[in-house]
Amino acid sequence: MDIVVAGSHGLIGSELLERLREDGHHVRRLVRRPPQTADEREWDPDAGVLDPGHLEGADAVVNLAGAGVGDRRWTTAYKRLLLTSRTRTTGLLAARLAQVDGPPPVWVQGSAIGYYGDRGGEVLTEASASGDGFLARLCREWEAATEPAQEAGVRVAHARTGIVLSSQGGALGRLLPLLRLGLGGRLGPGTQYWSWITLHDEVAALCHLLTAQVHGPVNLCSPHPATNAAVTRALADELHRPAGLAVPAVALKVALGELATDILGSQRGKPTVLEASGFSFAHPDLSDAARWVVQEG
């Protein structure tokens, strides 16, 4: 396949590029600077600049572009960047896809399990309503920005990604080093559900959605969500370290501000659509995932 990828520099995007190339696909990367390699194509979402030729002839589009949710404290300015870095890129892609003669038939579009908001122990499937809070609103607007492409006949799959487990960064970027030292533990009460997925399965699921006849929301998370305390305990056990320390919720709120509400929020997601489409997880259970993360690192 000839695949256009936006957002190829992050944790997931970098791993996805490697997997696509290993599988023999041709990749065009959309970048926000002058091209430096033959596979790069320049665009400027903030200025609304994207040459339709960059999309013509492609078999699929994958868009993972957006500022990192956990990269810094959520100031008013950074929250605006989190939103616009997603809606502008997605909206521009949608507009151009709607204009191209014979657009790519499939678009795998990034989204997040945060769509559902803080829902405690409620089981959340793709049929569940959106929740409250900033991340839920961000995800709603992010997904809605694809509408012009959907109206033009493009099959759009919204990949509502959970918490990605990897030794390379992401949610465990700060936690795993502490666990290795025996200084880690649950965050806040630890009772909040984490809809987790290993980086390996995340990338495999994105590749699966390129050909699976699925459209609309797809939860990318393990079929066995677990509490934050269970996740940290499983990782600590695999590292043969204690996990008795805890970070109080009040300390998280002081250190991280509104970002702490995301860390302390609870989403008990189920990958109903993904499993029904025939996807098979390499790491469906928490013990498998913890073992993979530790071995990966």
Which ranges in the chain belong to alpha helices (H)? 11-22, 76-99, 134-144, 147-151, 175-180, 199-211, 228-239, 249-256, 259-264, 272-276, 286-296
| Interior/surface letters 25-55, b for 16+ CB within 10 angstroms, e for the rest | bebbbbbeeeeeeeebbebebeeeebeeebb
User: Which of 94, 137, 96 is closest to 114 using CA atoms?
Assistant: 137
**CATH topology classification for 2-296:** Rossmann fold (3.40.50)
Domain ranges (residues) in the chain: 2-296
At residue 263, the pLDDT reads 82
**Integer Cα distance of 100 and 105 in angstroms:** 11
Q: Which residues of the chain have pLDDT under 50?
A: none
Going by the DSSP 8-state scheme, the letter that residue 181 receives in this structure is: T
Q: Is 118 helix (H, G, I), strand (E, B) or coil?
A: coil
Phi, then psi, of 159 in degrees rounded to 5: -85, 95
At residue 5, the pLDDT reads 98
Give every CB contact of residue 180 below 8 A, 6+ residues apart in sequence.
239, 241
**Integer Cα distance of 53 and 58 in angstroms:** 10
Give every CB contact of residue 213 below 8 A, 6+ residues apart in sequence.
155, 277
Going by the DSSP 8-state scheme, the letter that residue 140 receives in this structure is: H
At residue 116, the pLDDT reads 98
What tokens were used for 112?
Answer: 């997040």
What tokens were used for 84?
Answer: 């616009």
Neighbours of 132 (CB within 10 A): 11
Q: Is 4 helix (H, G, I), strand (E, B) or coil?
A: strand
| CA dihedral angle for residue 211, residue 127, residue 93, residue 199, rounded to 10 degrees | -60
Going by the DSSP 8-state scheme, the letter that residue 237 receives in this structure is: H
Q: What is the pTM of this model?
A: 0.95
Task: Name the amino acid, one letter, at 199.
Answer: L
Give every CB contact of residue 224 below 8 A, 6+ residues apart in sequence.
284, 285, 286
What tokens were used for 195?
Answer: 């809809």
What tokens were used for 290?
Answer: 């913890």
